[in-house]
Chain A
Amino acid sequence: MRWLKSVALPSLTLAMLPLPAILGSPQNRSFVHQQRYAMGTVFEIVIYDEDLPRAEAAARAALDEVVRLDGMMSNYKPESDLSRMNRTAHFQPVRIPRELYEVIEESLFYSRHSDGQFDISVGPVVDLWKAALAGGPLPTAADQASALRCVGYQKIELTPPDGIQFHSDCMRLDLGAIGKGYAVDRTAEILNASGIHRAYIDAGGSTMYALGAPPGGNAWRVRLRDPSRKLGPEVMLSNNSVSTSEQSAPSSLQGDAPGHIIVPGTGKPLQTRYAISVTAPSATASDALSTTLLLLGPTKGAALVKALHNVSAMWIASDGQRTIVGDGVSFFLTGETHPIHVSPLKDRIAATSKTATELLP
């Protein structure tokens, strides 16, 4: 879970904004805003509700759940269920918590549909490059080959309802590309169950989910990453999710600095000029798909998106070139005179879809 994405300038700009001036005074508060550090990022929840104590309690419970899931799915915490599984599931079945099983099951769905471009078993290779990204030497070809031997989602065997086994002696799973999305979905479920129907959940700016709409609006307006800084892309969310993904910014000091997204097939950092945003009914789906579709690129990625239901994807290159596909929520390019619709705005999806099969046409 600690394979973090780099911080780009827009986030810095955002952090420098005079927040209090925007938020208004405490006296006319109608919302709750809480945040919690978990999974190496900041989870934030904004709730509009007439019953602020209820909203406070719901937000707290939801964020507690994120922390609990972090304790379960972190590959950085040696005592986590994921770490324990990574130590013990080689050539022998072990039992894992239901939530961990669900995430791995859904991960395998995306692995199969992306021909292995999305692969949670890429952990050993990721760790090699993570060390390089943190200032260590670049991994040698031998190191890479050795780590690549451990990769391959086909070597993961799931046995319902909670069994798992690795058919490899060095396999290690890393849920960094999907775990935050799963946690966001769990958060939405808890809020829903608490009677909260107007909420916005944000996991570090890379995966967001909107429950209902803010007062006076039909949806939550979300501005998306635009590496060209020309298009002003936005999306209107209501009971659905958007995730963004982008390779680390190139180093200004070192040409050979690696990026954080690794191509499972080659074991090397992805070279791409695109940033991608993906909308989907669930945050688990949008999180997994954003990495998958960035790895696939617009040509191959479009085919995958078209095979899914209620999913939209937008690739934007640094020069402003974009590709938008899918039948999910529309993207708007506010930098243009007329907004571009992926499709006419459809009826909002009623409930959070959590399982991969529900995304199939």
Chain B
Amino acid sequence: MKRISFLGMLFLGSIAACTPVTAKVFLRVEASPLPPADKTGIRDVVLLWPLRDLSVAAKLHSQGYRVFLQCESKDLAAAVATADRRAVTGMIVTNTAPSSQSPAAEQLRAYFAAHKSLTFRMLVPGGKQPQMKGRLVVERDGVLQVSSPSSQPWLDTNLALVRLAQATDPDSLPIIYDFHWYTSEALPDAWHPDAEAYRVAIAEADAIRSDVTIDLPGSLQRALVADDPRAWKLWKAVMPYLDFSSHAAKERMLPVVNLGVIVDDAQANYEAINLMARHNLAFESVRPSSLTLARLSSWNSVAVFCPLSKEAVALLRDFAASGGIVIFVNTHDEFPWHSTPPLRQESRATVYSVGAGQVVELAEPVVDPENFARDLRRLIGRERAALALWNSLTTLVTGYRQQSRPNITLYLVNYSNQPDSVQVQVQGRFTRVRLESPEERCCVSLPFVERGGFTEFTIPALRITARVRLDSAREAPPHRRKKG
């Protein structure tokens, strides 16, 4: 699994990532003609290195595109040296080679610093085409159905992949993720992917607030150049989403979270964290070494997937004592709260009361990530959830808070390609709730109610994506993280 190995490298190699200010959509194209940028609505294009024809970058640049080259880290120096520096805006670096053959993270960082005229992105490979999936595995001579009590749709989402990649230092390198389109079910005479697939991919990157590279199939690229009306019909259905994505807030924002995830082995715990994302648990992940009092002050619940130092355990004890919930996964360690008898002993979990809070210890790793995520959601409860959706099984929501004001922007993505009524609950009080979407643009005021410190409203028919701006009359309090 490329994704897993790369995540492992991210953590082990300390190639750090930060949340980008904007989520840009890069289109990876063939090194061949493309209609001008003002016609396609595309701003950033990616060409794979090596290029057979070096003039392609200049041609695309002259058509209004920002051109990026994608290369492996071992080829980076050659690519930078050879590329037309006037035509190329930046480099997307993949780092999938065994660590002994790839430049160390510090070397890359130094290299990037030495080439300030170029923009660099580290590629997080192994993303999945964002989509809602059913359960059928189709064989040529029949269907094998593995039945289970499940009725819920499965969402392939890149949220956890990106959150884990971002779980590092603040002075890190910007990341970008990509994926490959599923092509298996394409009808021979149909464009694949269809416009809906592009729209969901663009919407997801917007919600994750991460740059993404999306492949533009060569057949579509050539058809656009040839002015094929069917190709343009498809692309014109995509363009409003590109435009909508490009109009997201530009200022740096902080994710709205209430759950901290402490993890050092992304590979072992990926699926559990993926399901937490899938269930709209508003979380951020940190490495154990990054756990500080300031970090904890942003959360009301913590899930721990790795051993901790005594200092970190003491922080979590105080966190629980002041009302927090802490869940340790696969732990057999001795903890200070073991000096008192547990509150409850379940078959797989031991629950301790610690001050005003609670510590839950699971003696096993997560064997059923879906069930774990649902359990976690129940344990945290609605009263602690920073964000919650009702009856929206195919929608993901992320929230971001402005640094300068307590205003919040929610980003919603519906993966089902079926308009859905989405009920939303956000912690906090707001004076105005406004919806914008590629279809509605800015802005439609939504009626809302305030209940017990939460603001609740309904998006009547979420098509694929929407942003909801919640304005607060209050000034932003000093950011707590900066205290610690």
Q: Mark B359-388, 1 if CB is under 8 A from A, else 0.
A: 010100001111110111111111001000
A9 and B370: CB pair below 8 A? yes
Q: What chain A residues lie within 8 Å of B393 (beta carbons)?
A: 4, 37, 40
Given contacts A40-B393, A221-B143, A253-B378, contact A23 B371 (CB under 8 A): no
B182 and A20: CB pair below 8 A? yes
Q: How far is the CB of A20 from chain B (nearest CB, A)?
A: 4
Q: What chain B residues lie within 8 Å of A10 (beta carbons)?
A: 146-148, 150
**In the complex, A246→B390 CA distance in Å?**
23
Indicate if A223 sits at the interface (CB-CB under 8 A). Answer: yes
Checking B150, B154, B188, B418 against A36 with a beta-carbon cut-off of 8 angstroms, the contacting residue is B418
B132 and A8: CB pair below 8 A? no
**In the complex, A35→B132 CA distance in Å?**
9
Indicate if A72 sits at the interface (CB-CB under 8 A). Answer: no
Indicate if A292 sits at the interface (CB-CB under 8 A). Answer: no
Checking B150, B188, B377, B382 against A11 with a beta-carbon cut-off of 8 angstroms, the contacting residue is B150
Q: What chain B residues lie within 8 Å of A9 (beta carbons)?
A: 148, 367-368, 370-371
**In the complex, A24→B183 CA distance in Å?**
10
Stretch at the interface among A161-169, A199-207, A343-351: A199-207
Q: What chain B residues lie within 8 Å of A30 (beta carbons)?
A: 140
Size of the A side of the interface (Cβ < 8 Å), in residues, is 80
Checking B367, B368, B378 against A135 with a beta-carbon cut-off of 8 angstroms, the contacting residue is B378
Checking B134, B148, B149, B370 against A42 with a beta-carbon cut-off of 8 angstroms, the contacting residue is B134
Q: What chain B residues lie within 8 Å of A304 (beta carbons)?
A: none
B149 and A225: CB pair below 8 A? yes
Question: Would you mind naming 11 contact pairs between A and B with Cβ atoms under 8 Å apart?
Answer: A7-B151, A7-B370, A14-B148, A42-B134, A42-B135, A200-B145, A215-B140, A220-B143, A223-B145, A249-B368, A277-B147
Indicate if B133 sits at the interface (CB-CB under 8 A). Answer: yes
Known: A44-B135, A206-B149, A224-B147. 12 other contacts (CB 8 A): A2-B391, A8-B370, A9-B368, A11-B150, A29-B188, A37-B418, A42-B153, A136-B382, A200-B136, A216-B141, A244-B149, A250-B347
Indicate if B207 sits at the interface (CB-CB under 8 A). Answer: no
Q: What chain A residues lie within 8 Å of B148 (beta carbons)?
A: 7-11, 14, 205, 225, 244, 246
**In the complex, A26→B192 CA distance in Å?**
11
Smallest CB gap from B152: residue in A: A7
Indicate if A306 sits at the interface (CB-CB under 8 A). Answer: no
B135 and A67: CB pair below 8 A? no
**In the complex, A249→B154 CA distance in Å?**
18
B142 and A214: CB pair below 8 A? yes
Smallest CB gap from B371: residue in A: A249
**In the complex, A54→B137 CA distance in Å?**
22
A253 and B143: CB pair below 8 A? no
Checking B141, B146, B377, B391 against A215 with a beta-carbon cut-off of 8 angstroms, the contacting residue is B141
**In the complex, A30→B141 CA distance in Å?**
10
Indicate if A134 sits at the interface (CB-CB under 8 A). Answer: yes
B150 and A251: CB pair below 8 A? no
Smallest CB gap from B394: residue in A: A37
Checking A33, A215, A246 against B138 with a beta-carbon cut-off of 8 angstroms, the contacting residue is A33
Given contacts A12-B370, A254-B375, A277-B147, contact A205 B184 (CB under 8 A): no
Q: How far is the CB of A262 from chain B (nearest CB, A)?
A: 15
Q: How far is the CB of A253 from chain B (nearest CB, A)?
A: 4
Q: How far is the CB of A130 from chain B (nearest CB, A)?
A: 10
Q: What chain A residues lie within 8 Å of B141 (beta carbons)?
A: 214-217
Q: What chain A residues lie within 8 Å of B356 (beta carbons)?
A: none
Q: What chain A residues lie within 8 Å of B182 (beta carbons)?
A: 19-20
Checking B139, B379, B385 against A254 with a beta-carbon cut-off of 8 angstroms, the contacting residue is B379
**In the complex, A170→B103 CA distance in Å?**
69
Given contacts A42-B153, A255-B344, contact A135 B381 (CB under 8 A): yes
Q: Mark A126-137, 1 if CB is under 8 A from B, else 0.
A: 000000011110
Indicate if B249 sits at the interface (CB-CB under 8 A). Answer: no
Checking B147, B192, B362 against A225 with a beta-carbon cut-off of 8 angstroms, the contacting residue is B147
Smallest CB gap from B275: residue in A: A12
**In the complex, A244→B142 CA distance in Å?**
20
Q: What chain A residues lie within 8 Å of B385 (beta carbons)?
A: 135
Given contacts A4-B151, A37-B153, contact A14 B382 (CB under 8 A): no
Checking A35, A52, A134, A222 against B382 with a beta-carbon cut-off of 8 angstroms, the contacting residue is A134
Within 8 A of A (CB), among B95-149: 132-149
Q: Mark B180-205, 1 if CB is under 8 A from A, else 0.
A: 00111111100010000000000000
Q: How far is the CB of A221 from chain B (nearest CB, A)?
A: 6
Smallest CB gap from A226: residue in B: B147
Which of B133, B153, B421 gathers the greatest number of chain A CB atoms within 10 Å? B153
Indicate if B348 sits at the interface (CB-CB under 8 A). Answer: yes
B143 and A200: CB pair below 8 A? yes
Smallest CB gap from A37: residue in B: B416
B140 and A8: CB pair below 8 A? no
B149 and A5: CB pair below 8 A? yes
Q: How far is the CB of B234 from chain A (nearest CB, A)?
A: 17
Indicate if A77 sits at the interface (CB-CB under 8 A). Answer: yes
B349 and A252: CB pair below 8 A? yes
Indicate if A352 sits at the interface (CB-CB under 8 A). Answer: no
**In the complex, A217→B132 CA distance in Å?**
30
Smallest CB gap from A248: residue in B: B149
Indicate if B346 sits at the interface (CB-CB under 8 A). Answer: yes
Q: What chain A residues lie within 8 Å of B380 (beta carbons)?
A: 135
**In the complex, A7→B378 CA distance in Å?**
15
Within 8 A of B (CB), among A48-68: 52, 56, 67
**In the complex, A266→B186 CA distance in Å?**
51
Q: What chain A residues lie within 8 Å of B416 (beta carbons)?
A: 37
Q: What chain A residues lie within 8 Å of B143 (beta carbons)?
A: 46, 200, 214, 220-222
Within 8 A of B (CB), among A241-292: 242, 244-255, 257, 275, 277
Q: How far is the CB of A111 from chain B (nearest CB, A)?
A: 22
